[in-house]
Amino acid sequence: MLRPLPLATAAILSGPVLLGLLGTVLPAVGLGPLGTGLTLDPVREVLAWPGLPQAMALSLTSGLLSTLGALAVAMLILAGWHGTRAFTLLERLLSPLLAVPHAAAALGLAFLIAPSGWIARLPALALGWDVPPDLLIVQDRLGLALTAGLIAKELPFLLLMMLAALGQTDQRRRMAVARSLGQGRVAGWVKTVFPSLYAQVRLPVLVVLVYAMTNVDVALILGPNTPPTLSVQVTRWMTDPDLGQRAVAAAGAVVQLGLVLAALLAWQMGERLTARLGRAWVWSGRGLAERAARAAGLALGVLSALSILLGIAALALWSVAAGWRFPDLVPEALSARNWMRFGPEMLEVAGDTLALAAVSTAVSLLLVIGCLEAEHRFGLTVGQRALWLLYLPLLIPQVAFLPGLVAAAGSVGLGPSWPLVALGHVVFVLPYVFLSLSGPFRAWDGRLARVAAGLGARPDAVLWRLRLPMLLAPVLTAVAVGMAVSVGQYLPTLLLGGGRVSTLATEAVALAAGGNRRAIGIWGLGQTLAAFLPFALALLVPALVWRDRRGLRHG
Amino acid sequence: MRLPLIAALALATPAFAEPDPTDWDAVLAEAEGQTVYWHAWGGSTTTNDFIAWIGEQVAEQGVTLEHVKLADTADAVSLVLSERQAGKTEGGSVDLIWINGANFASMKEQGLLFGPFAEALPNWRFVDAGGKTVTTDFTIPTEGYESPWAMAQVVFIHDSERVAEPPATAEALLDWAQANPGRFTFPQPPDFLGTTFLKQMLIELVEDPAVLQQPVGDDYAEIAAPLWAFMDDLTPVLWREGRAYPQTGPRQLQLMNDGEVDIAISFSPGEATAAIANYELPATARTYVLEAGTLGNASFVAIPFNANAKAGAMVVADTLLSPEAQLRAQMPDVLGYGTVLDMDALSEADRAAFDALDLGVATLSPEELGQALPEPHPSWAERLAADWVARYGVAN
């Protein structure tokens, strides 16, 4: 029962991805159920799309720059401030942002930085502008707003990933050596700690790169639309009522995949180059502008946390606003009417969203615990190669394999439906649940199991009555992470549900195009709360259950 | 290969026991106890409430109405199409579709519709078939295969505080935009409202708008040339110099509320009034139409050839045409849609009720709206949108 589970899990993770890739490549060359026989017409049509060069350039620059940016800021914060009170504060400020869905964060940011947005209203009031300046800030053609939004949203993820890996880098002793050699705090950290830290967080960094290059929800809201990024255009082809466009979408997805692979290759070359330059820098013994680097790290960290927090605050205020015109900083009056108008439907969809999140997380959790337990009982260890497998769904652009997966499922009579969406969510939820739970699960003290076995407990009893109850806090944290991932899924829900399964993510992104900020406020807030709720429970439940077990409270 | 199948289908159709629309008592009797699945766009909360209200009305005649909320009407069309491909010629899952324009044209052309039925409905006698464009749909004759239920017409919304005398011709709009750069935009084609703006401007600029009633032909480039010359002048003085566009109509209204633009296009004469009430537009927003008139069209309902509850669907279509339902649809706080009925055909009491209706502060009276211009053939919308995307939708 337990033994085949790791293999089954690998199949669940890689099956849809590989099947989906096949289902994407085949129609791109005219094969498959809708196809007309081998042809390069869809590819030609994509190549003939006049927006292609700019859309590709946009995907590349916004993806590479935002990943570099988030990585650099995370590095500066850790190098300059780890262990200080300011760091604790920043960590508290940034960690909850991990749960804020991408779409909600982007929506809030859009209102913050638009020429008629909150920030511009300060000079507008002071200088008496009666109309906002006609400046292309949000949706600018270079994708700068998109890049900034992605940096702000990915920074918490990278920072927490690096923080988790920091324990295995022998930071203290390395820093002691570096400092004794006269290196400054930042320069010493970057030279001695960062290289081994980066080796550990390399896969998450690549995940960020792929996501930043291929996301649809943030690009729709903050990115340009004349033309949009390549992934947005592929999604448009995909959802075109004209079924003939599906083949073009597939060809576009293949181009997108090629672009991502090229970027990953470029990144790897960049890593080598950086390593070489870095080594030369280490040997040179030269330092850094310590004060400037520390100040920049703190300022950028605070800035990115504030931009998302203020954005969410703006969404909350819009949701209860009566009239609110430029350049007023606050609404004329507050009103419960928006909530009465949009609230009931939002709550209904919130229920559906949480149900979907609960089912996909429960399936993922069962598989993950099964895998970890199999590893423990039969010594089936997950090697470095299997770790790549775990990351596969996160490293292949969603837009490259989801259209194919829809086609593949359709060809065996599985139309867009709720179960298909739930299965799709599992593919993305499972890796995060695994990453979140595997550490604490493996770190559990095995001697307890031997004592229990000595008292006559069978392995199942040890798992259910000892190990899992003791690991309640990390299990619930993994559940919360999984549910937050599910709540945030936009493209899998849209494509696998054929537009008929609505969740808070799909509704919020659809509304973003609609432009009704009151409705957006209510739905965006709903999505944020839906992602937060499991985290709150994950903190609260163990504290309540173990209120009389001091030793378990911090486990 | 598919042609013989369609032919066989067409021949086979009379063999099924179809309800006869001319025998209304029999229709009513058959409808009792039926459940009608109405596939209709679900993107507007006010429309959804109205459909629920229609459900209460037909429940009195024993018909249960279920609203299947669509993101796109094309979904219902492809559902019916795939059912036919699967050989499902009766007991289909769609009973009634809210439809018009290109979707109707394609369903009618492919023989996917039940009918004719519309002109046999008892309430058809109230319909203004002579005055309103309810028997053609984007130039395609309806021939009784769809029944109208609401009128829509293009209006322009302006902030009367900022633009006292709004430009009412294409030339005036260009002059105004050049004098006020960055203060006008439209939803990005192929959004239907943006495409409507292109059609509306083409009608203004073309020498003889009658050519637009024909499908796009070889002389397309020549006919559309004045429009592209106009757009070449207009685009640089648009909001954000035409480098970004609002994606939809509602987003455009948000820009107006933010003070970013002063003029916006809408396909619903009552939309501005409703938006003011919902705080989505400033109280000074008003609507106007162009001097030479604006595009108008009707919303219809149609019944698929394989509908399971055709009699029930006809009862719903008939109820939509009742003076009571039409009056309710026109109330600004319900839908604010134009009626398809002829005031002179109504009873005195019904007419008085329509006359007494307060359309709202920003809604034009039927006289002010004037006669709506007919929609061009559906092929024009498609071609203009594609051409616009190639010219302005992808930067160089």
A329 and A342 in a common domain: no
A221 to chain B: closest CA residue: B247
Residue with the larger pLDDT of the pair A188 and B11: A188
What CATH number has the domain bearing residue A48? 1.10.3720.10
In degrees rounded to 5, what are phi and psi of residue B17? -80, 85
- Which pairs count as long-range contacts for B81-87, CB under 8 Å and 24+ apart, including other chains? B81/B110, B81/B112, B83/B306, B84/B9, B84/B112, B84/B305, B84/B306
Q: Are residues A51 and A146 in the same domain?
A: yes
- A133-145: pLDDT as tens digits: 988 888 898 999 9
**For residues A360-383, average pLDDT:** 86
Same domain, A497 and A431: yes
Are A27 and A57 found together in one domain?
A: no
Coil, helix or strand at residue B136: strand
Residues in chain B within 8 Å Cβ distance of A515: 246-248, 250-255
Does residue B1 surpass a pLDDT of 50?
no
Contacts of B355 (CB under 8 A, 6+ apart): none
Residue B163: per-residue pLDDT: 94
* Spatial CA neighbour of A422 closest among A481, A475, A356, A354: A356
CA atoms B343, B344, B349, B352: torsion sign: positive
CA-CA distances (angstroms) from residue A279 to A180, A266, A293, A406? Answer: 19, 20, 20, 48
Q: What is the number of residues in chain B?
A: 396
Question: Residues 236..295 of A with a Cβ closer than 8 Å to B: which?
Answer: 241, 243
Burial of A85 (0-12, 13-18, 19+ CB in 10 A): exposed
Q: Are residues A326 and A231 in the same domain?
A: yes
Average pLDDT value over all residues in chain B: 89
Confidence of residue A554 (pLDDT cuts 50, 70, 90): low
A300 forms beta bridges with: none
3-state DSSP of A115-136:
CCCHHHHHHHHHHCCCCCCCCC
pLDDT of residue A10: 84
pLDDT at B324 over 60: yes
Provide the token pair at B34.
């039926």
Specify the pLDDT at position A75.
Answer: 96
Sign of CA dihedral A186, A190, A193, A198: positive
CB distance from B391 to chain A under 8 Å? Answer: no
Say if CB A260 and CB A67 are below 8 A apart. Answer: no
Neighbour-count burial for B330-341, b at 16+ CB within 10 Å, e otherwise: bbbebbbbbbbb
Within its chain, how far is the Cα of A239 from the centroid?
A: 23
DSSP A449-504: HHHHHHTT--HHHIIIIIIHHHTHHHHHHHHHHHHHHHHH--HHHHHHTTT-S--H
pLDDT value of position B2:
41
Count of CB atoms within 10 A of residue A143's CB? 27
Q: Looking at beta carbons, which residues of chain A come within 8 Å of B393? A: 51, 226-227
Q: What angle do CA B102, B104, B108 make, to 5 degrees?
A: 120
User: For residues A316 and A521, what is the distance between their CA atoms, to the nearest angstrom?
Assistant: 6
- Indicate whether A286 and A353 sit together in one domain: no
pLDDT per residue over A225-251, tens digit each? 889 999 999 988 877 656 667 788 889
**pLDDT 10s digits, B43-80:** 666 788 899 999 999 999 999 998 887 766 777 887 78
Average pLDDT, integer, range B243-249: 89
Check: CB of residue B364 under 8 Å from CB of residue B289. Answer: yes
Candidates A104, A101, A108, A133; CA nearest to A120 is A133
pLDDT in tens, B300-323: 999 999 999 999 999 999 999 999
> What architecture is domain B3-149+298-365?
3-Layer(aba) Sandwich (3.40)
* Phi–psi pair at A141, nearest 5 degrees: -70, -25
Q: How far is A114 from chain B (nearest CA, A)?
A: 10
Domain end (from A333, A363, A389): A333
pLDDT at B261: 95
CB atoms within 10 A of CB B114: 20
Q: What is the pLDDT of residues A475-524, one digit of tens each?
A: 998 999 899 999 989 889 988 887 668 899 888 877 776 667 888 889 88
Residues A18 and A130 in one domain: no
The whole-chain average pLDDT of chain A stands at: 88
Which amino acid is it at B223? I
pLDDT band at A130 (very low <50, low <70, confident <90, very high): confident
Share of chain A above pLDDT 70, in %: 95
Mean pLDDT across B195-224: 95
CA distances to A23, B164, B196 from B218, in Å:
39, 42, 22
Last residue within a domain, chosen from A285, A300, A333: A333
Q: How confident is the model at residue A551 (pLDDT cuts 50, 70, 90)?
A: confident
SS (H, E, C) A238-289: HCCCCCCHHHHHHHHHHHHHHHHHHHHHHHHHHHHHHHHHHHHHHHHCCCCC
Average pLDDT over residues B220-239: 97
Please name the residue of chain A whose CA is at the shortest distance from the CA of residue B389.
Answer: A226
Output the pLDDT for position A410.
73
**Residues 6 or more apart in contact with residue B212 via CB below 8 angstroms:** B199, B202, B203, B206, B223, B376, B377, B380
Is residue B10 pLDDT above 50, yes or no? Answer: no
Chain B, 23 to 52: residues with Cβ < 8 Å from chain A are: 45
A61 in the same domain as A176? yes
Q: Rounded to 5 degrees, what angle do the CA atoms A99, A102, A105 make?
A: 85
- Compare A413 and A347 and report the one with higher pLDDT: A347
Rounded Cα distance, A506 and A103, in Å: 9
Q: Give the three-state DSSP class for A23.
A: helix
Q: Between the CA atoms of B338, B342, B345 and B348, what dihedral angle is there, to the nearest 10 degrees?
A: 40
**CA separation for the pair A202, A292 (Å, rounded):** 27
Same domain, yes or no: A246 and A380: no
Instruction: Say which of A225, A327, A345 has its CB closest to residue B244.
Output: A225
Contact list in A for residue B243 (CB cut-off 8 A) is: 136, 141, 224, 226
Question: Does residue A48 sit at the B interface (CB-CB below 8 Å)?
Answer: no
- The span from the CA of A237 to the CA of B77, in Å, is 18
B180 touches B262 (CB < 8 A): yes
Average pLDDT over residues A288-302: 94
Alpha-carbon distance of B134 to B146, in angstroms, equals: 9
| Distance in angstroms (rounded) separating the CA atoms of residues B22 and B28 | 11
Give the angle A390-A391-A397 at the CA atoms, nearest 5°: 135
Cα A121 to chain centroid distance, Å, stands at: 31
Range of the domain at A96: 40-333
pLDDT attached to residue B93: 84
Inform me whether the pLDDT recorded for A117 exceeds 70.
yes
Calculate mean pLDDT across residues B156-170: 95
Number of cross-chain residue pairs from A and B with Cβ atoms under 8 Å apart: 106
Q: Are residues A20 and A86 in the same domain?
A: no
Cβ–Cβ < 8 Å for B224, B384: yes
Total domains in chain A come to 2
- For range B194-221, the mean pLDDT: 95
Please report residues of A whose CB lies closer than 8 A to that of B71: 499-500, 510
Give the separation between CA A447 and CA B61, rounded to whole angstroms.
Answer: 74
**Who's near A2: CB < 8 A, 6+ residues apart?**
A370, A373, A374, A377, A378
Whether residue A136 and residue B392 make contact (CB cut-off 8 A), yes or no, is: no
Return the CATH architecture of domain B155-296+373-393.
Answer: 3-Layer(aba) Sandwich (3.40)
B188 contacts in chain A (CB < 8 Å): 225-226
Q: Is B98 helix (H, G, I), strand (E, B) or coil?
A: strand
Q: What is the pLDDT of residue B83?
A: 76
In whole angstroms, give the CA distance from residue A223 to residue A486.
23
Say which residues have a Cβ less than 8 Å from residue B285's Cβ, sequence separation at least 6: B157, B158, B159, B160, B256, B272, B275, B276, B362
**Whole-number pLDDT of residue A514:** 66
Q: Where in chain B is the domain with CATH 3.40.190.10?
A: 3-149+298-365, 155-296+373-393
Contact B240 A134 (CB under 8 A): yes
Query: Distance (Å, rounded) from C-alpha B29 to C-alpha B19?
Result: 10
Measured between alpha carbons, how far is A49 from B371 in angstroms, rounded to an integer? Answer: 40
Is the Cβ pair A241, B74 closer than 8 Å? yes
Nearest chain A residue to B258 by CA: give it: A326
Max CA distance (Å), chain B: 66
* Global model pTM greater than 0.95: no
Mean pLDDT of the region A173-186:
92
Candidate from B183, B241, B244 with C-beta closest to A139: B244
Residue A185's pLDDT is 93
Same-domain status, A258 and A341 = no
Is the pLDDT at B4 greater than 60? The verdict is: no
Task: Flag whether pLDDT at B356 surpasses 50.
Answer: yes
Q: What is the pLDDT of residues A435-488, one digit of tens each?
A: 889 888 888 888 888 999 999 999 899 999 989 998 988 899 899 989 999 998
How would you list the strands of the sheet with B263-266, edge to edge?
B263-266, B155-159, B285-288
Task: Judge if A368 and A468 occupy the same domain.
Answer: yes
* pLDDT at B5 (0 to 100): 44
Could you give the C-alpha distances from A406 to A70, A247, B27, in angstroms and in order?
A: 33, 13, 41
pLDDT score, position A54: 93
Residue with more model confidence, B275 or B177: B177
Q: Degrees (nearest 5) of the Cα angle A418, A422, A423?
A: 120
Distance from CA of B293 to the nearest CA of A (A): 28
Single-letter amino acid, residue B285: A
Query: Does pLDDT of B287 surpass 80?
Result: yes
Q: What is the pLDDT of residues A373-426, one digit of tens each?
A: 888 888 766 666 677 888 888 888 888 888 788 878 877 777 778 999 999 999
Chain A CB within 8 Å of residue B279 CB: yes
Whether chain B has a CB inside 8 Å of the CB on A227: the answer is: yes
With CB atoms and an 8 Å threshold, state whether A517 touches B244.
Answer: no
Check residue B216 and report its DSSP letter.
P
What is the structure's pLDDT at A539? 84
Select from A333, A358, A375 the last residue of a domain: A333
Coil vs helix vs strand at B121? coil
Phi, psi of B151 (to 5 degrees): -110, 140
Tracing tokens 């709009």 back to the chain, one arrives at: B173
Task: Tell me the per-residue pLDDT of B359-370, one tens digit each, with 9 for 90 and over.
Answer: 888 999 888 998
The reply to whether A128 touches chain B by the CB within 8 Å rule is no
| Residue B311: partners with Cβ closer than 8 Å, 6 or more residues away | B19, B27, B28, B30, B31, B34
Q: What is the pLDDT of residue B88?
A: 77
Cβ contact B98:B301 at 8 Å: yes
